[in-house]
Amino acid sequence: MVIKWKLILSLFVITTVFSFASTTVSAQTCLQGAYTCKPFNCYNTTSQKYEYDSFDCTVQLDPLTQQCEVGLLSSYRTFSSTRHVNTNWNDSDAFVNCGSPGGCNQGFVGGNIPSCSGQQGGGGGGGSCPSGCSGSSPVCTANAGGDDCPAQWSGDDCADLPCAYRDDCGCGSCLENCSPTCEGTGCSGGGGSGGGGPTAAPTPTPTPAPSCTLTCPGTQVDEDIYNRAMSGSVKGVSTDLAQTSTGGTGGTSTGGTGHSGSENTTYSIAAGIAEGDVEFYGVNNFDCRIFNDGNGHQTPCPSPTIISGSGGTSDTGGTGTGGSGGTTKGASTNHPRKALPFIETLSRLLNAQVLRDVFGKVLGTSTLLAQTSTGGSGTGGTGTGGSGHNLITTWTYPVRYHILNAILPQSYTATATSSPLGGTSSGTPPTCSCSVALLCPATGQDPNDAGSILEGCDNQCDFSVSPAQEHVLTPLDITINTPPGFGNVTIDYDDGISDSLTDVDETTQVNHAYNNSGVYDVSLTCTTNGGGAERTCKRRLTSYCTGTDIEALPTATPTPTPTPGPWFKVQDSSFHIRTYVTSYAPSDATPYDSSDIGRCSATNPNPFACFSSGESGAVSVQSSLGEFGAEVSTKGWLRKDGNYVLNSLMTPASFLEYVKARKDYKVITSLASDQIESNRIHLYDPEVIASVSDNSIPDLIPAGSGIVVLVDGDLVMDMASEPNQIFNPSHKAITFIVTGTLQISALTTELNAIFVANQVDFAYDFVGAAETPLKIDGNISVMNTPLELCNEHRMRTDTRTKPTCLFQLDFENQFIPVIDLLSTRTYDWTELVPSSTE
């Protein structure tokens, strides 16, 4: 037992003596500056003097760890004294507060005085290696077939690899019996070099304890405020709460080469909901294995991003020159490492930059990341490697805490746990955690506002809530708004409960009450009756604590006006749509082209920032949910009425019958120009599909004349053969009445005609959203709701300020010349009594 203890102690002493490294220390107060340290080395029996090594060090504050660290480190053995005393950092003890082991209390405290004679022993060695590793230093190389081995580590000495990657890089089996090992005194031998001969046993310098910090979303508070919040004495999140960052690495070495567990907790409070990322920050090789988000999810820790790491290489036994400083991986280094490809390097630097900003904010500083150095001087003997790496890693994990305990604060605690430590001692795996105290919602939010929309909620799938603002346990009436085709819906209340309904129409209501206060994201999924198409809508609503005066709540931070998506507009026309429509005209809207005359209300500073411009007519929407942005038109005539069913008597089919019965017409067998006559109605029953692909028809129509083409079937308008893909640039009067579907090619940009069709496809030859804008100058009248509105099937990407589609009523050019062709008559018949003379 005694032998074992001595062995452990000696290994520890040798390791730490050789590694005047890992000088990151726990900080109470860090006195930054340049210092000279003169730790005792040996007693020179020849000169009869005590010899000291002299170290010139620069101490600075690590902005991340808030620990002292040694920057420039050099060592040389020049100083000797007859004084038989220890020295510390600087004679003035300026750095005393950094304490051991960061301080220079390296000297012996009694006992045997090491003799300088016989010095120059072996340097810091890597220990022995198992079969397959050569020499005294592990020379196993990484990525022995490991597919998951990061490229930057490939081919490197296994000893240089961070522990987290060793298994992936095929180093685990090679190094597991090596000394040092990951779980031992360090990932690799430090930069210990040859030291002197037998030395006095210095005070062991424990390797820094792995530790981590988790930061939860919400307002960071100290533990006292958090506890008061959980007890109910803090009712909300106040901006004047001190934002303190607690933590810092703790833990002490409990002996051996292992580390005991350390625990570190940060605290946050939030009102109603805390969502965002839990941010992890691990130092000193914290090997995170398990993450529990405190909300029912436990997962392996996400793959970390390495901010910095260090580690010297192992030396074989040497001649006892001074130990070299450790290096920071990825930074300028003096140990052999192949250069990272530029892109990888840049990428890592950028990552580090981002993370630095993140943590700089958290910690209240924006100073550069510390580059910790390790390694140290060897002091001879059989020296094992110096100190290990100080690997700093980070990752994030999205969380969302949103449900209270009825009306009481609810605590959520996320925890990161490392792997059990190996080495020669076992300890509790270090953990870190963050806790969020979720308090009663403290701001108002109307779930029926556009600002509450989190996802979807278009014309095919939406819902409204009544009452809009409610207390917990209050029953809610949720009205489903879907067109007739989307009859199957599933609504998820975000509290673990959902409902599925069929045969839904715009009057369908469901009822729900929340048992716990909180903020809920209610999701509605609408599916067509045939199951072919699916739309979603997600809105956020708040269930307030009982007793909360909802009316007195401050208004929630105004949600920015939804970024206008692709939109369409009409000009000079009355407009009716048989379904919900979203066509936000942005406040900075610009004209579609020179024909867009604009004109909105007098109070609108931008004449183009409304849905219906020009001499606008009434706008009616067969839905309670029509969105046109700030202003529908200069008149403001808008009716949103889900029960408004437009009465369409004169459909293309009925007009066809009317023409056959009442009007003069010509039957044609194609749309070739030689079959077209001016001022005639043409009946065309195509065998397959009618197609217009050029301007030969308008070219033959004299100015002031017009034609009507009745297509008993589908009509394709594909102007690919024409410059700019424009049909009828001369604006001749042409009307197409289509009993089937008007199919417009995705690249067609402009159609100058009147189109009356049973259905329309604004980009029939394109799946998804085409980017080409479309203008129809004349009119377009569709008897059925398009499967996709123009701003859904076409989404211009060149600018958001111009409408994707513009529909203009061109009365003078398109209607007037065909007034006799494109019209009906009314008749009023009366029988009179003939006079006596008749």
From 573, 582, 583, 752, residue interacting with other proteins (rule: CB under 8 A): 573
Q: Residue type at 636?
A: G
Site membership for other proteins, residue 831 (CB under 8 A): yes
Nearer to other proteins, 91 or 812 (CB): 812
Binding mask 200-239 for other proteins (x = CB under 8 A): ----------------------------------------
**Candidate segments 200-208, 261-269, 306-314, 827-835, binder of other proteins by CB under 8 A:** 827-835
* Cis amide bond preceding 467, omega within 30: yes
Q: Among 403, 760, 763, 770, which residue interacts with other proteins (rule: CB under 8 A)?
A: 760
Q: Count residues binding other proteins (CB under 8 A).
A: 68
Which C-beta is closer to other proteins: that of 291 or that of 568? 568
The reply to whether 703 sits near other proteins by the rule CB under 8 A is no
Q: Which of 211, 516, 779, 804 binds other proteins (CB under 8 A)?
A: 779
The answer to whether residue 616 forms part of the interface with other proteins (CB under 8 A) is yes
Q: How far is 745 from 793, CA to CA, in rounded Å?
A: 11
Find, among 821, 785, 805, the residue nearest to 576 by Cα.
785
* DSSP structure class, residue 297: -
> Does residue 339 interact with other proteins by CB under 8 A?
no
CB nearer to other proteins: give 435 or 633: 633
Strand 498-501 vs strand 431-439: parallel, antiparallel, or unpaired? unpaired
**Would you say 168 and 128 are in contact if contact means Cβ atoms under 8 Å apart?**
no
Examine residue 830 and tell whether it contacts other proteins (CB under 8 A).
yes
Q: Is 660 in the site for other proteins (CB under 8 A)?
A: no
> Binder to other proteins among 229, 465, 671, 789 (CB under 8 A)?
789
Binding to other proteins by residue 263, rule CB under 8 A? no
Rounded least distance, CB 484 to other proteins, Å:
16
Q: Which one of residues 497, 646, 667, 689 is an interface residue with other proteins (CB under 8 A)?
A: 646
Burial 483-495 (b: 16+ CB within 10 A, else e): bebbbbbebbbbb
Task: Report the nearest approach of other proteins to the CB of residue 609 (Å).
Answer: 16
Using rule CB under 8 A, residue 76 touches other proteins: no
824 binds other proteins (CB under 8 A): yes
How many other C-beta atoms are found inside a 10 Å radius of the C-beta of residue 46?
9
Rank residues 200 and 756 by Cβ distance to other proteins and give the closer one.
Answer: 756
Q: Please identify which residue in 219, 785, 791, 804 interacts with other proteins, judged by CB under 8 A.
A: 785
Interaction of residue 574 with other proteins, rule CB under 8 A: yes
649 makes contact with other proteins (CB under 8 A): yes
Q: Is 758 in the site for other proteins (CB under 8 A)?
A: no
DSSP secondary structure letters along 593-660? STT------TT-S-TT-SSEESS---EEESSS-EEEET-SBSS--EEE-TT------S-HHHHHHHHH
List binders of other proteins among 511-550 (CB under 8 A).
Answer: none
Any contact of residue 812 with other proteins (CB under 8 A)? yes
Distance CA 351, CA 344 (A): 10
How far are the Cα atoms of 27, 125, 207 from residue 321, in angstroms, in the given order?
31, 13, 22
Stretch that binds other proteins, among 40-48, 491-499, 527-535, 814-822 (CB under 8 A): 814-822
- Region of 832 please: left (phi>0), alpha (psi -120 to 50) or beta: beta
Q: Which of 9, 638, 726, 769 binds other proteins (CB under 8 A)?
A: 638
CA atoms within 13 A on the CB side of 176: 5
Instruction: Decide: 735 and 654 in contact? Cβ < 8 Å.
Output: no
Would you say how long the chain is, in residues?
A: 838
Task: Tell whether residue 738 is a contact of other proteins (CB under 8 A).
Answer: no
Among 511, 555, 594, 647, binds other proteins (CB under 8 A): 647
Which of the ranges 4-12, 238-246, 320-328, 574-582 carries the binding residues for other proteins, by CB under 8 A?
Answer: 574-582
Say whether residue 7 binds other proteins (CB under 8 A): no
Applying CB under 8 A, the span of 3-11, 41-49, 455-463, 642-650 interacting with other proteins comes to: 642-650
C-alpha span between 89 and 78 (Å, rounded)? 16
Based on the shown chain and the rule CB under 8 A, indicate whether residue 810 belongs to the binding site for other proteins.
yes
* Cα–Cα distance, 785 to 621 (Å, whole number): 12
Q: Does 570 bind other proteins (CB under 8 A)?
A: yes
Least separation in angstroms between CB 767 and other proteins:
21
**CB crowding 22-38: b at 16 or more within 10 Å, else e:** bbbbbbeebbeeebebb
Of 772, 768, 726, 723, the C-alpha closest to 746 is 772
Name the β-bridge partners of 751: 727, 776
φ/ψ of 151, rounded to 5, equals: -60, -35
Q: What is the dihedral of CA 117, 123, 128, 133, to 10 degrees?
A: -150
Choose the binding region for other proteins from 241-249, 323-331, 627-635, 687-695 (rule: CB under 8 A): 627-635
Nearest CA among 579, 669, 586 for reference residue 630: 586
The only residue of 754, 763, 774, 795 in contact with other proteins, by rule CB under 8 A: 754
Check: CB of residue 520 under 8 Å from CB of residue 543.
yes
Applying CB under 8 A, the residues found at the interface with other proteins are 570, 572-578, 601, 614-618, 620, 632, 634-639, 641, 643-651, 655, 735, 754, 756, 760, 779-783, 785-786, 789, 807, 809-812, 815-816, 819-820, 822-834, 838
